[in-house]
Chains A and B, each alone.
Chain A
Amino acid sequence: MQTRKTIATLMFAWCWAQAGAATVQWFDGQGMQTAWVNDATGAVALEQGGLERALANTVSIVTQPGRATAVAQTLESLGFVVKPSPIPDKLYVLLQASSVLGATQRMTRVQGIQAVQLQWARHVAMPKVTP
């Protein structure tokens, strides 16, 4: 009985420790990775307890050499909005920030992807303009 109580207590403590961050699997082009999503803010950390940041509305796709057009067509057939890049073998997929991680899971069967790169949302300081 005491052992069961101890186990239950430990499990409860472990669950308590995990509260506030949900883990989500995402595809980085090579395999599935784990991300930690802050329940309250939606910010994402790529390591447990690591720096939390806001995701942007876009992911970058690095394709195998010469495969950008084919990859774009496949992604578009899956319903993604794809934009070209001036950089060879690179594409952009436009998403909603809240659905980025889950959306990458749908890319696992797309041939020709070398990397799926998350983008982080930032703001810049604009210059002073005095009235």
Chain B
Amino acid sequence: MNKRLKYAVTLWMGSILAACGGSAERVVEELSNAAYLATVELFAAAKLPALPLLQGDQETEQAHLGALADGGINIPPYFGYGNTGAGIGVAMLDTSIQVQHPDLQERVVAAHDFIDYDDDPSPPVGSKTAWHGTATSGLVAASVNAFGVRGVAPLASLLAYRVIGEDSTQDSGPLEDALVASVLAGAQIVNNSWTHQNNGVFTDADAGWLGVMNARVGLTFGPTLVFAAGNGGDGTMSNYDRYTNDYRVITVGSVAANGGAERYTEPGANVLLLAPGSGLVTTDLVGMDGVSQTDYTSWNSQFTGTSASAPIVSGVVALMLQANGALNSRDIAWILAKTAEPVTCPSCVEWLSPRSSAIGFPNYSHKFGFGRVNASAAVDMARSFTPITQVSQCDSGWKYPGQLPQFGLDLPDNSAVGVSASYDLSQCNLVVDRVELHLKVSPQSKGDVSKYSGDLHVALTSPGGLVSELAKPHVCPGACGDIREGFTFSSVRHMGEGASGLWTLVVSDESRNYLSRFEQWRIVIHGHKG
């Protein structure tokens, strides 16, 4: 930019600043993306203040927004890049949300209570759960102002939808309808800080929710859904929950401040990446006790869990979409994975072999996904990313593990050998975005129907030799879930691999408890032309 043009732009910007009362924030909101880029250098030269990490006296407590070296997500520093989430709608499907909270009220553009059937999702008197939706909303988009805290995307718009009742009920209707409402309202992101799966139970999704997903959400269309991976730790897997397991969603686990995975975060081949999940400072209930007795959580009032990690990523996605509104959820997942910061794990057995440099992704782990979200790197890549607008599928159809006549096979009891079944996808010339595995396994005795699935180990190996562990033997306090009629797993493990070649599934019964039979399987590759 030559000096005369710089001077002209400076005068123009100065006049706008004066007209708007000197608010750099509002000036930036008015500009188009092209103007943003044109003024980056100007803002840097003018040394306008960086977007503050904190307000008030809590400067050291929103560390999750800070540098990677400090355990943060590396929020981009300038207003000049438009790193605010302005113009992006984030639907929060959660408990009650205190939409009148001073740090949230300017952000809320739509609200509905699908539990009490009115337009106010604010917490009822004495609510025991409303702190949850209020806290997650603040992590996404608490406003930048003279007080309180700020969200990852502090100018994003919030759509506050209550779908969880006081007793943690989430009936099928509210969830389905809130998703429809989110789509109809034009929300680009839908945050889901909840899971149905509990303690290792294979849990299917409601047919109504799946119907809405099939009609309105895809890798290249509809909003980007972000899910919390779950807090059950290593005794279970995020892959057992059909919601977090859906191939169209982004599933987020929790990383600790010291760089390792939080012990409670659930592993799974569906986990894309991690975000901070402990001791976070965000909005808390005003006028009633929430997580803390003040209007904000503090680092030791301990709003903790993958419920916190998901909205942090939702906020990052809002920043990415502001940088490039043409991105779809496939692109967003791709960029988040590509730019994720490797997670520290000195003695970690979870790290799998380094991926081929030809694939171009960092290491992957079922515990860590592709690593910790790096907001600045993700936004930078998003800005210049050319969207992939078309994805295709390669579908094996339902297959039997046994030879003709077609039938299932009994699994050897208490054996890692199991039954192996392969399918040749040599004609599938796609680069993998997501892999779905549909699996039917039944108990050999009907009396074992409630428990047999806890004995199973399920592993899928790609032509390139990368392995997705989709289920492992585990103890269920109650029933483990019945997958005779089929259960759907998904994996992000193979993102970037070529789909062509032999895919191999091994299903084994690695416990003495119950006997099982491998009935059928089906693999679906979702990918794009390389």
Contacts and interface: CB of A to CB of B under 8 A. Distances in A.
Nearest to B482: A51
Interface residues of A, number: 27
Interface string A119-131: 1111111111111
A60 B194 contact: no
A75 B228 CA distance: 39
B196 A83 contact: no
Nearest to B128: A126
Given A87-B180, A92-B117, A124 B196 contact: yes
Interface residues of B, number: 39
Contact of B208 (A83, A85, A88, A117): A117
A104 interface: no
A131 to B, nearest CB: 8
Contact of A87 (B119, B169, B170, B184): B184
Contacts of B232: 125
A50 to B, nearest CB: 9
Interface string A76-111: 000000011111101010100000000000000000
Nearest to A57: B171
A87 B184 CA distance: 8
Given A120-B206, A124-B196, A58 B171 contact: yes
Contact of B168 (A87, A94, A119, A123): A123
Most buried by A among B170, B198, B228: B170
B197 interface: yes
A86 B184 CA distance: 10
Interface in B148-173: 164, 167-173
Contacts of B195: 124-125
Interface stretch (B300-308, B409-417, B493-501): B300-308
A56 interface: yes
B112 interface: yes
Nearest to B118: A83
B304 A121 contact: no
B224 interface: no
Nearest to A130: B302
Given A123-B168, A124-B196, 12 more contacts: A56-B169, A56-B171, A56-B173, A90-B177, A119-B171, A120-B171, A125-B198, A127-B132, A127-B228, A129-B291, A129-B304, A129-B305
15 contacts: A60-B173, A60-B177, A86-B119, A87-B181, A88-B184, A92-B117, A117-B208, A119-B173, A124-B196, A125-B195, A126-B132, A127-B303, A129-B303, A129-B304, A130-B302
